[in-house]
């Protein structure tokens, strides 16, 4: 039977362009000969906006919908007002394709530098809600720019939206050896949304008697990310807490250049989208300093999602071997890391 992957590629801005090229290189190298890889690149991001004023026109959204998956680099550029591309392109994609599970695994590979003392054993997954919370654009400002300005940014939480992501997190916890799920929220202050999350978490938990559960307020969770990260297995949390916690998780597991993510539409109605956790890094764009590993690990998540488990594992093993051989003195460029990983997955 012939197999194929019809992939949409959105390199986007800054280092997004540089790291996506390496992700595609490794993807081409890891796929067996009988898998036909078709890619279509979408010109979306800052350059397009400057040229046409468009962020994500409907025609492009319709076209993107037809792919098996999307590989995205990064969106956002200092030349564009903050939020225009992040909301008008990146979040628009996540919302339009109902990416309600924003999956962000964190693992401390052997030999990887961590600022934490004692090299704790870190291997957890954050299941970040992806379509609700303060990200929905439910806000506004009055008397903008005046001393009397009032601004709101309301966090939107629906029982439907919370239950489906919590259930996904229980399923993931149940399939992992430790079977532990931690809810992170702030229900000592956010008593409406926070209690709804906790009630749903407890209710769904009754269906998963083998999963051990735990609850942490988000401020305390940041302590344990640093002092006891080994206590975590699967974490479920809202959109904004998950955004912040996963940059912290990246920082303690070797840096943002290693952190992968998948924006998953579990029903399969829409294509899922895979991207590094990091942004367009304008401070290093064009210098060859960007680590493409996060994007390459995102390609592994993409392959796993499409059913190519052994190829995903080959990429993860190649990354582990590459990281094991890294030394602070032997600095490599974005291209060189991509080349090395492409060679490893092919052999």
Residues in binding site for substrate: 94, 104, 128, 219
Q: Are 125 and 103 in contact, with CB atoms under 8 Å apart? A: yes
Q: For residue 177, what are its two tokens? A: 């050896």
Q: For residue 288, what are its two tokens? A: 């060859």
Where is the binding site, in residues? 94, 104, 128, 219, 243, 247, 279-291
| Distance from chain centroid for Cα 176 | 20
Where is the binding site for Mg(2+), in residues? 219, 243, 247
CB of 251 to ligand NAD, least distance (A): 9
CB-nearest residue to Mg ion: 243
Give me the residues paired with residue 142 across strands.
150
Query: Is 135 tagged catalytic?
Result: yes
- Nearer residue to Mg ion within complex by CB, 83 or 140: 83
CB of 90 to ligand NAD, least distance (A): 5
DSSP element (H, E) containing 12: strand 3-12
Asked whether position 243 contacts ligand IPM by CB under 6 A, the answer is: yes
Asked whether position 264 contacts ligand NAD by CB under 6 A, the answer is: no
Whole-number CA gyration radius for the chain: 20
Number of residues that bind Mg ion (CB under 5 A): 1
Calculate helix-pair angle for 334-346, 309-324, nearest 10 degrees.
130
- From 152-160, 214-222, 280-288, 312-320, span contacting ligand NAD (CB under 6 A): 280-288
Spatial CA neighbour of 233 closest among 301, 303, 183: 183
Applying the rule CB under 6 A, the residues between 279 and 318 that interact with ligand IPM are 279
First to last CA, the chain: 24
Query: Is 322 tagged catalytic?
Result: no
Query: Is 247 tagged catalytic?
Result: yes
DSSP assignment string, 37-80 = EEEEE---SHHHHHHHS-SS-HHHHHHHTTSSEEEEEE---TTS
Asked whether position 249 contacts ligand NAD by CB under 6 A, the answer is: no
- Nearer residue to ligand IPM within complex by CB, 122 or 259: 259
Asked whether position 243 contacts Mg ion by CB under 5 A, the answer is: yes
CB of 8 to ligand NAD, least distance (A): 15
- Active-site amino acid positions: 135, 186, 219, 243, 247
């Amino acid at each position: 039977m012939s197999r194929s992957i019809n992939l949409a590629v959105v390199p986007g801005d800054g280092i997004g362009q540089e790291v996506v090229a390496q992700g595609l290189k490794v993807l081409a190298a890891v796929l067996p000969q009988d898998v036909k890889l078709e890619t279509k690149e979408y010109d979306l991001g800052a350059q397009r906006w400057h040229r046409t004023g468009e962020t994500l026109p409907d025609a492009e959204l319709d076209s993107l919908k037809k792919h098996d998956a999307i590989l995205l680099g990064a969106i956002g550029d200092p030349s564009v007002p903050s939020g225009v591309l992040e909301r008008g392109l990146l979040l628009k994609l996540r919302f339009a394709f109902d990416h309600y599970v924003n999956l962000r695994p964190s693992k401390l590979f052997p030999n990887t530098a961590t600022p934490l003392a004692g090299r704790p054993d870190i291997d957890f997954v954050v299941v970040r809600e992806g379509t609700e919370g303060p990200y929905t654009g439910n806000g506004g400002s009055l008397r903008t720019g005046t001393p009397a300005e009032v601004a709101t940014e309301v966090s939107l939480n629906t029982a439907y939206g919370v239950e489906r992501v919590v259930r996904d997190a229980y399923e993931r916890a149940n399939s992992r050896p430790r079977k532990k799920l931690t809810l992170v929220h702030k229900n000592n202050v956010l008593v409406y949304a926070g209690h709804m999350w906790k009630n749903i978490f407890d209710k769904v938990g009754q269906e998963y008697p083998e999963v051990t559960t735990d609850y942490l307020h988000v401020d305390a969770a940041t302590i344990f990310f640093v002092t006891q990260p080994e206590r975590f297995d699967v974490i479920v949390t809202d959109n904004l807490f998950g955004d912040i916690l996963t940059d912290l998780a990246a920082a303690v597991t070797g840096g943002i250049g290693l952190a992968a993510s998948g924006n998953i539409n579990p029903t399969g109605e829409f294509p899922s989208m895979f991207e590094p956790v990091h942004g367009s890094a304008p401070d290093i764009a064009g210098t060859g300093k960007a680590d493409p590993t996060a994007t390459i690990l995102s390609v592994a998540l993409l392959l796993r999602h499409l059913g190519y488990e052994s190829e995903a594992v080959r990429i993860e093993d190649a990354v582990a071997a590459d990281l094991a051989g890294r030394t602070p003195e032997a600095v490599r460029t974005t291209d060189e890391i991509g080349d090395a990983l492409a060679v490893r997955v092919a052999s």
